Each structure stands twice: as C-alpha cells, then as structure tokens.
Amino acid sequence: MLQNLRDAGGHPTGNGARVRSGLLFRGDAPVRLDDAAQARLAGLGLRTIVDLRRDRERAHWGSEHAWFGGKLVELSLIGEQRRPVNPLNGGLAGFNRWVYETRGETIAEIVGTLAAPGALPALVHCTAGKDRTGLVVALIQSWLGVPEDVIAADYALSAEQLHADDDEAIAKQEEALGVNVRERPDLLEARPEWIVAALAEVRDTHGTPEAYLLAHGAQPDDLARLRSALVES
C-alpha cells in the first residue's frame, strides 16, 4: 500500500524558475502493493529507485519490484543503526540534526546516484517516507533554491499523509524508528520547525547546501548535471 508517495518537484526556486515535475518522487516503501498501486508506480516511468532503509527493514518488509525494470540502489541513510531515535535525545528534531551532522557522505552519494546520466525519473523512499526521505529531499530542494516555507510545508505534509490513527502508518514508523510509536505520538509528526532548524544548521556550518554536499564528496559535475535536469527556467 502506498500512503506517502508524491512528486518532490513543481516548486519555485526563485527568478521565475521551478523544480521540474515528474522527475524526482518521494515516498514510503513499495510494499503490500495492490494492482492500482503497482499501476501508479509503473506510470511514473521510473529509471532509478533509491531505498534508504536498513537491511533489517528490507528483510522484514521486502519491496515489490515486479513492475520495475530500472536500477535499484539500496543505500541506508543511517547505516545499520538498530534504534536511530532515542526517546531521550530530542526525538525527531534531534534525529534530523544528527543525520545532517553525521551522514553527509551518504547524502552526497545519494545525490550522485540521482545525478548519473539516465537516472531520472527517480524515487527516493525509506519505510514511511517521512523522516529519512524528508531529510534527503529537503536538502535537495534547499540546494535548488526552493524557499524555506515551501520546503517546510512539503516536509510537514507527510504527517497528514500517514494519519496518526492508521495502523499501517504506525507499523511503518515503528519499523523505521525501533520505538513504540503509540507511546510516542510525536514520532508521527513532521513539524515544519524541525526541518527549518536542521537546514539552518547546515547553513551555519557550511554556508550553503551546495557547500555541504561538496564538503561531503559530491562532485561539481554531478551537481551541475542534476541541477540542469531538475530546474526549468
């Protein structure tokens, strides 16, 4: 079932430009797909899927790719951490900061994957499509020049898509975080201020999202190619 799939494009980037629609998608894991969900995914014309989950998540909920004939890249954003969110470490606000502070090389590798010739259209997903996917997409959107309020609204939309009273949404988030989400309802949220604060720290430490990506191993040619592909004037 797909609960949190959407286009990451269509947003303004300043000076009349926009992020192209139909090239970069974000979502939850393609598991338990009915015929309609498979047809929806097949209709996107995807050439690349980047799966940000840990091995244990893939083993528990294997993705269904019968509809897909492109390149699958399995690249855990957080490594193989068993429990990425500690109830005492600031919840998801702290998790967001931790990812940007410690997983920059992986984010740069993801961006390089998306920049490869012929990689687009692409889907980036984790288990619920909210936190890890939200962080990667927000950094890319910020790098492309999407305004902060638009990024924050897109990030926050995941909480609406997943529905706090939905058993499957809860199960996906518990699998992703290794925490009893029913006892931590804040972990089903996606507050705009969380992503705004995390991106502010990226700017504070590196100046710009592009400088952040370059500092963590992204290649200038890859960034130029991806920007050219994703931004229309």
The CATH number linked to 146 is 3.90.190.10
Amino acid at 224: A
Selecting among 46, 78, 123, 126, the annotated active-site residue is 126
Whether residue 211 is contained in a domain is answered as: yes
Q: How far is residue 119's CA from residue 65's CA, in Å, rounded to a whole number?
A: 17
103 tagged catalytic: no
Find the range with the poorest average confidence among 11-15, 16-20, 56-60.
Answer: 56-60
In a domain, 90, yes or no: yes
List, in order, residues 6 or more apart from 193 with CB less than 8 Å away. Answer: 93, 152
Does residue 86 lie within any of the structural domains? yes
In a domain, 231, yes or no: no
Task: Summarize pLDDT for 89-137 with one digit per residue, the tens.
Answer: 668 898 899 999 999 999 999 999 999 999 999 999 998 899 999 999 9
Residue numbers of the domain that contains 214: 6-220
| 3 state DSSP class of 48 | strand
Dist CA 38 CA 44 (whole Å)? 10
Domain count, the chain: 1
Rounded Cα–Cα distance for residues 159 and 176 (Å): 15
110 found inside a domain: yes
pTM of the model: 0.91
- The rounded distance, in Å, linking the Cα atoms of 202 and 209 is 7
